[in-house]
Structure 1
Amino acid sequence: MSEEDRLWPGRVRRLGREQLRRWRLDSLCEPVELCLSELVTNAMRYGSGPVVDVRLYGTASHLCIEVTDGSPDRPVLGVAGVDDESGRGLALVEAIAESWGVTEDGTCTWCRLSVPEEQS
């Protein structure tokens, strides 16, 4: 990834945090920022499309993140070694999100987090 590309996960995290605050879902900022960062980083690193699209939307009970990279190659949940500096992104998403997956055509990775009852 280029130096410019490396800035995008942080930018997307900040935009996500700002939107969650507008929606008064501050308690979801940390988990959503982490999921956004990991999914966007994977899309930029492994996707083949010229554009990465990010979509953040919610219902009364769930918050959904979709990251589309244009690549039909499905992401793989890897097993990183103790000393590996990468390879944990989807494992982190799996640990944080209620559910996650990939669209049938492989171009979009998504995850869903529960909205705490006091905020729904």
Structure 2
Amino acid sequence: MRPIDAISRVEAARILGCSRSTVAKYVREGRLHSAGTRLSLSCAAVEQLALSVYPWRRDLRGDASYWVTGQRASGILGVNVARLNQLANAGRLPFETHEDGTRLYRRDQLRTVANAREARWN
């Protein structure tokens, strides 16, 4: 049965910051499991793996990465890093924590929040 959060291996590679062949390697190694069809994976499982393998330092200047760090997140929202941390600490802004302690924010979620803030003030 295909999970509700099924994603393609192409999207999994974007979330993990790696190639499709690396995603296939993670499946072979048992670090990821195919969901329903052999080509789909659980988004939640992929995001969980990303918290240990995602090379966030490589994507600090990228505009297409799935994850962003605090500095980039604050820029997307138009707030300073201190305010970003206040919002995250108060549970008003979702984030995940990489195994090295770095907070990672989903770029698409930040864009949604930024658009909502802009619409609210216009």
TM-score (norm. length: structure 1):
0.27
In our comparison, the structure showing a higher alpha carbon Rg is 2
Q: Specify which structure has the higher proportion of helix.
A: 2
Q: Specify which structure has the higher proportion of strand.
A: 1
TM-score (norm. length: structure 2):
0.27
